[in-house]
Structure 1
Amino acid sequence: MTPLPWALSALAVWRLEREKHFATWRTGEGALRVGGRWSPAGRPAIYTSLDPATAILEVAVHKGFDILDTDPHRLLQLEIKDPPSAIKVVRPEDVPNPNWLRPGTLSPNQQAFGDALLQAYGLVIFPSAVSTHSWNLVIDVVAGAGRFELASEERFALDTRLAARPTGPKAA
């Protein structure tokens, strides 16, 4: 896995947000409505990544690259005010079921595990299931209130080579 940035005095995390939802990015509304890998529906949570590439992959795995190519998105950088040493880290060996770190159907037990950690700590770093050498930081909107802020945002532009290719014979 990519080492965690413990030597840093500040931690920056990344999120790719649909432009039409940019005004409400900090509410955790998506996770509140449908839940996520580490949170059940009903818990407002913001899913971020420790690097921008993983943030892009986390969205692409659910929506596809074509949506990222045609639907405007914004790339957000959040500054975490807590020192990295104050954030709960879940290492792969800490997860009760290793299959929770693989793509697939979410277990209610997995969501309950993450839910308890989010309620207790507010900010929790989990291994990414999309990129097994990467990390995600999930923020409980209530327990993590005041512990993060928007540092920057920019219009996202997908590398067009990642968009779907037409099928048929290849040009010479």
Structure 2
Amino acid sequence: MIVYRLAAKEYISDKLGTGARLFGGRWNPQGLPCIYTSEHISLALLEKYVHAQSRENMERIALIKIEVPDIDGLIFNTDEKLLKTNWADDISYSQWIGEQILKDLSIIAFTVPSAIIPLERNVIINPLAIKSDLIKFSEPIDFSTDFRLLSRLMK
């Protein structure tokens, strides 16, 4: 499975999930590391955009392609039909689910619906997983965001 991550250039090569560990996220509580990725570059861009506090958060970013081995038992696919109806509005609920999965060190990644586009998936990588060494990170490349998108940010 190929997934994509967009992040500030200074953080793009972090393979330890430091940002998620320090600040928490939709699918992880603070203190538990993970790496947020998306199945598509366009979804990764939308996820980055929706969390941007300013235009600067969308500048000086890089893209990295990550190969997660698609081996039975290593990837957990969250079934959105089993999630609470309002899961996207209940961060403590989604963090609890993510915590349960991240604590199972036999799982290297889990897929979840995107709150932005529920028909598309984000993939959360567990850097603490026993077989995380099977994950292959490409070299990051600079990523430019179209000025038309940036001009709408933080008007």
TM-score when normalising by structure 1: 0.78
Gaps of 5+ in 1: 1-10, 166-172
One-letter amino acid of the counterpart of residue 64, structure 2: L
Percent sequence identity over aligned pairs:
29
Q: Considering only CA atoms, is the larger Rg found in Structure 1 or Structure 2?
A: 1
Alignment partner of 1:88: what SS?
strand
Aligned position for 2:39 = 50
Alignment partner of 1:124: what SS?
strand
Contact 2:5 2:63 in 1 (8 A): yes
- Alignment partners' CA distance in 1, 2:114 and 2:73: 19
Deviation at 1:85, TM superposition (A): 7.0
- Alignment partners' CA distance in 2, 1:55 and 1:163: 15
Contact 2:2 2:68 in 1 (8 A): yes
Greater helix share, 1 or 2?
Answer: 1
- Alignment partners' CA distance in 1, 2:49 and 2:69: 28
One-letter amino acid of the counterpart of residue 15, structure 1: R
Deviation at 1:67, TM superposition (A): 2.8
Q: CA RMSD in A?
A: 2.2
Gaps of 5+ in 2: none
TM-aligned CA distance change 1:65 to 1:154, over 3 Å: farther
Aligned position for 1:4 = none
* Corresponding pairs, count: 150
Aligned position for 2:2 = 12
Alignment partner of 2:25: what SS?
coil
TM-aligned CA distance change 1:153 to 1:110, over 3 Å: same
Structure 1: which 4+ aligned runs deviate by more than 2 Å? 64-69, 81-86
